A and B are shown apart, each in its own frame.
Chain A
């Protein structure tokens, strides 16, 4: 039985029966999720996935080749920004001047079976990347839990998954071709243009636009993922051991409850079978339960715990097995807004506990499960994992609910633990604070940025804030 079905049946039979007057207290009605309105025949706005940013570019272009990309950058007017899938929650894309979309720069360019490396066009969506690599016997060692972004955007923002032995997407990049605003096409790797390489592997699109990206892969492999409902304290009492025991491990504590969802993923064993179904609507069901009982004075929280325990406590594991590129990603059909910081790995448990306690103490309206992951250290200048193993904690809010006030309550907790914000997610840090959390290479990056974009053509309002440009 799907968790949603289980929750719905429990909600119907239990909560509604016991508290019949709650029937009208379900989730709030649908509200417009778009920040702007569009009228056919008029200029079309650009809007990001989460619907929290928009712009009205005067010039749009979609180059279909490297030459066209270089020409587009060279002739770009005003502030120029690149866009792939538009999945970032931060305002890295908006420009009212020139927008360059990488949709048509998609595909596998070449591969090296000896080195297990493959070069893809930077606009390739991650959901296409898996099958393309599989067709030549390769697979990326780790992959995000959703596959909508473009490869170029994923690398520019150091998109990551979980696993104490695995780095971010950027850490698997062995070489890139970068088109600059001056019309140059620069090759960079560990031997050539090394400074640019260290900056470009997490650049927030501040150096130019990648045309090609080469990845260090593994031979194709299969995974088995086990999803389980557990007690948060049981999991956190042995969090290090859990991470060591599995190739990938993450958990999702559920605010206002003692429960969490755990996801453990390992190389598939012969005989592994898929059991149950992934339920992309599960968070909506969780919200329905939360909305139904959380308003009840005093007893609301306890009631929520009881309903969740009854509904999910003995839910059977959901197991998914298959090729890695099909097991890593999950569908996202519920829109949300997300803030994420990475704190030093050893600070992860304390930071997580403080966030959960703060939500409870201040009665912050967040019912969306919080994502808790570990990522291996790297040496990329502006990677969130530069120089230290990281613990990434992601706070989500439903797309039709206010996120600014709840996030403002949580964000200072991350600062207390020396957190580094995810470049593609919501945060409020500017140049001064960012320079402090990247003490080793902030100025190195700035020098490369000024060299490649001396006029600041790639600096939209958000990036100006980040880099003090």
Chain B
């Protein structure tokens, strides 16, 4: 069998490039490491980069305003327990609390110091 390692695809690359653009244009955001980026691409990206799902779109502040107002802990609880169309854990069984916090901040485009511990669950 012809050996050829093809570990990425255009779709995923585009998603990651878009995410990277979001990260580097926002101040004081913790950038996901390589592992977290893979978890994002395999899980979060399938809804949060597809407008037709109705999920808040990555980096679009207006989509995240209400959730952000409730605080990061409330968002974390919604991620783990699931809410409406979002499944528990956002499909990511590998994600730790730290992973989820980094990915929430990246998706919502919110600086690290704005969200910590703010608000209650919806």
Contact = CB atoms under 8 A, between A and B. Distances in A.
Interface in A130-180: 131-132, 134-136, 148
Interface in A37-67: 37-41, 44-49, 51, 54, 60, 62, 64
Given A104-B35, A132-B6, A49 B77 contact: no
A54 B81 CA distance: 10
B46 A148 contact: yes
Contacts of A92: none
Interface stretch (A21-29, A71-79, A106-114, A347-355): A106-114
B93 A86 contact: yes
Given A47-B80, A103-B94, A40 B5 contact: no
Q: Which 10 A-B pairs have the closest CB atoms?
A: A47-B88, A333-B85, A34-B81, A62-B94, A103-B94, A107-B7, A101-B94, A108-B6, A131-B9, A101-B93
Interface string A77-108: 00000011110000000000001010110111
Interface of A: 30, 32-34, 36-41, 44-49, 51, 54, 60, 62, 64, 83-86, 99, 101, 103-104, 106-113, 115, 117, 119, 123, 125, 127-128, 131-132, 134-136, 148, 280-281, 331, 333-335
Contacts of A47: 80-82, 88-89
A219 to B, nearest CB: 16
Contacts of A125: 42, 46
Interface string B95-119: 0110000000000000000000000
Nearest to B9: A131
Contact of B85 (A39, A128, A334): A334
A45 B96 CA distance: 10
Given A110-B1, A331-B52, A333-B53, A103 B43 contact: yes
A38 B81 contact: yes
B25 interface: no
5 contacts: A86-B93, A103-B38, A108-B7, A111-B1, A331-B52
B76 interface: yes
Interface of B: 1-12, 35, 38-39, 42-43, 46, 50, 52-55, 73, 76-77, 80-85, 87-89, 91-94, 96-97
B12 to A, nearest CB: 7
A127 B94 contact: no
B88 A128 contact: no
A306 B73 CA distance: 47
B80 to A, nearest CB: 4
Contact of A41 (B11, B42, B55, B97): B97
B89 A40 contact: no
A41 B101 CA distance: 11
A40 B93 contact: no
Given A47-B82, A128-B12, A333 B93 contact: no
Contacts of A84: 93
Contact of A136 (B6, B35, B77, B83): B6
A48 B80 CA distance: 10
A85 B57 CA distance: 21
Given A128-B12, A135-B10, A331-B53, A44 B2 contact: no
